[in-house]
């Protein structure tokens, strides 16, 4: 599943090609996404101009405006296997290319989604009021996310620290891959009770979350089977993964065999020597 760095990489990749451009044509080949594509989608978007792309958690925010139709915004989620790429006029669609926004510069914003778990829908109100976004926690690279928040929210919680960190009400966008990597960098056992971790260790964890996400964004996200960036390039962060997907291999720090456990129904790999 594309996580926060993959979505941010997509935003950065497609933005220069689409921002400020008028939509000339909308082609919907498949409406049956997780949320069906709105029936008025094509007519409503033709003639609108794309604004500055934003992101909230794993959602892309795509503002559109028109001289006679005011301003609205699209909420785009890539689901399990979705991607938004830039194609050019004349590039034939492939299987699972469900939506095209054809722009005035002959670029095409093309949505590809083999599993159809993603969606595009109208944003309801603003990012602060849309029910899909309103209860989300802070962005992990924002000043609102820090050790004091983690420490305060974790008190008297028996939940293991890894699923606690992956809770979108605590902080958004720290999925399985990046939670595993951040806990390794901070030296924290993912099985530990969140409520029994000190403020000092949460300082290490908050810093590790910021470090691993910033590195992943810089390197283009993590190479997953279905993921490519907005320009069609794969991510490269997986070349640096310390623990995720490496169960049974040697720890890069101490050489011990990495262990695999299940936490919150998710596979978790860690080093029992380096993470305590």
- Positions marked active-site: 2-3, 58, 266
Annotated ligand binding at 112? The verdict is: no
* DSSP H or E segment with residue 44: helix 41-45
Annotated ligand binding at 225? The verdict is: no
In 3D, which of 84, 77, 117 has the Cα closest to residue 100? 84
Structure tokens at 9: 């990489």
Provide CB contacts within 8 A for 10, sequence distance 6+: 2, 60, 78, 83, 84, 229, 230
Annotated ligand binding at 157? The verdict is: yes
Query: Cα(183)–Cα(187) distance, rounded to whole angstroms?
Result: 6
Query: Cα(154)–Cα(89) distance, rounded to whole angstroms?
Result: 52
Torsion angle of the four alpha carbons 27, 31, 35, 40, in this order, in degrees rounded to the nearest 10? 60
Indicate the annotated binding residues for DNA.
96, 115, 157
């Amino acid at each position: 599943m594309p996580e926060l760095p993959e979505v941010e990489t997509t935003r950065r990749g497609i933005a220069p090609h689409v921002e400020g451009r008028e939509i000339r044509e909308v082609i919907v080949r498949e409406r049956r996404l997780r949320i069906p594509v709105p029936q008025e989608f094509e007519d409503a978007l033709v003639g609108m101009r794309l604004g500055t792309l934003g992101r909230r958690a794993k959602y892309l925010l795509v503002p559109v405006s028109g001289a006679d139709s005011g301003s609205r915004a699209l909420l785009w989620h890539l689901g399990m296997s979705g991607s938004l790429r830039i194609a050019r006029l004349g590039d034939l669609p492939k299987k699972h290319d469900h939506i095209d926004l054809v722009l005035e510069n002959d670029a095409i914003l093309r949505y590809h989604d083999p599993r159809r778990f993603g969606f595009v829908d109208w944003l309801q109100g603003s990012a602060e009021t849309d029910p899909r976004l309103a209860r989300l926690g802070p962005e992990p690279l924002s000043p609102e996310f820090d050790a004091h928040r983690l420490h305060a929210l974790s008190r008297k919680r028996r939940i293991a620290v890894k699923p606690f960190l992956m809770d979108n009400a605590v902080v958004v966008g720290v999925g399985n891959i990046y939670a595993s990597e951040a806990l390794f960098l901070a030296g924290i056992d993912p099985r530990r009770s969140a409520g029994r971790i000190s403020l000092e260790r949460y300082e290490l964890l908050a810093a590790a979350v910021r470090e691993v996400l910033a590195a992943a964004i810089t390197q283009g996200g993590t190479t997953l089977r279905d993921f490519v960036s907005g320009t069609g390039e794969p991510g490269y962060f997986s070349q640096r993964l310390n623990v995720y997907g490496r169960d049974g291999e040697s720890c890069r720090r101490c050489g011990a065999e990495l262990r695999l456990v299940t936490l919150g129904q998710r596979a978790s790999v860690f080093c029992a020597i380096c993470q305590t």
